[in-house]
Amino acid sequence: MKKLLVPVDFSDTAGRLLAVAEEEARVRGAGLVLLHVIEPAAEVAGFETDPEMMRLKIGRDMDNEERIEAARLRELAEGMTSRGVACESSVKFGLPADEIISAVRELGAERVVMGSHGHGALFHLFTGSVVTGVLKQVDRPVLVVPLRQPAK
């Protein structure tokens, strides 16, 4: 079966992305794979002085975050499946663009459906853009869904 990869960031606009992805899956007769990437947090040693204790605490926090995010993603996937679209979910750790590209290759996804928040050039100058990172490296079509509401 054809697979479409849909990176989900759980922002307020994720519903719009998922609606477009679901329609794209129906039109193409494809299944969806929802992917959420948990970015690594910079290790900041507050009052802890023992590096091993910090690693253990960060590890516990990441395990907990993975469980929470995986449950949220599964709930979205189950909703899609109940509406007749085959849907799986996956949570990965790392840099979003890198993990999306890796998932495309691992899954053999034929297309990526991802959202763009429409931040300006100055924002991207300092933070970069996941969409841009994916577009530069992936060898499959990418459907970019504008998530910003149009000005009235």
Domain of 95, CATH number, reads 3.40.50.620
Query: Per the domain annotation, does 55 fall within a domain?
Result: yes
Strand segments, DSSP code E, in the chain are 3-7, 31-38, 87-93, 111-116, 142-146
Identify whether 97 is part of a domain.
Answer: yes
pTM confidence score: 0.80
Residue 150 gets which letter from DSSP? P
Domain presence at residue 13? yes
Write down how long the chain is. Answer: 152
Q: Which residues of 29-67 are buried (b: 16+ CB within 10 A; e: fewer)?
A: ebbbbbbbbbeeeeeeeeeeeeeeeeeeeeeeeeeeeee
Q: What is the pLDDT along the chain (152 residues), one digit of tens a residue?
A: 699 999 998 888 889 999 999 999 999 999 999 999 998 765 544 555 555 555 555 555 778 888 999 999 999 999 999 999 999 999 999 999 999 999 999 999 999 999 886 555 544 444 457 888 898 999 999 998 887 765 55
Look-up: residue for tokens 């490296």?
Answer: 137
Q: Cα–Cα distance between 16 and 72 in angstroms, integer?
A: 16
Flag whether 114 is in a domain. Answer: yes
Please give the pLDDT value at position 50. Answer: 53
Q: Contact 99/130 with Cβ under 8 angstroms?
A: no
Per the rule left: phi > 0, alpha: psi between -120 and 50, beta: everything else, 10 is left
User: CB 129: neighbour CB atoms within 10 A?
Assistant: 18
Does 152 fall in a domain?
Answer: no
Domains identified in the chain, total number: 1
The predicted structure's pLDDT at residue 45: 47
Q: Residue 151 falls within a domain, yes or no?
A: no
Tell me which residue range forms the domain holding 124: 3-146
| The pLDDT value given to residue 40 | 76
Question: In whole angstroms, what is the distance from residue 30 CA to residue 107 CA?
Answer: 13
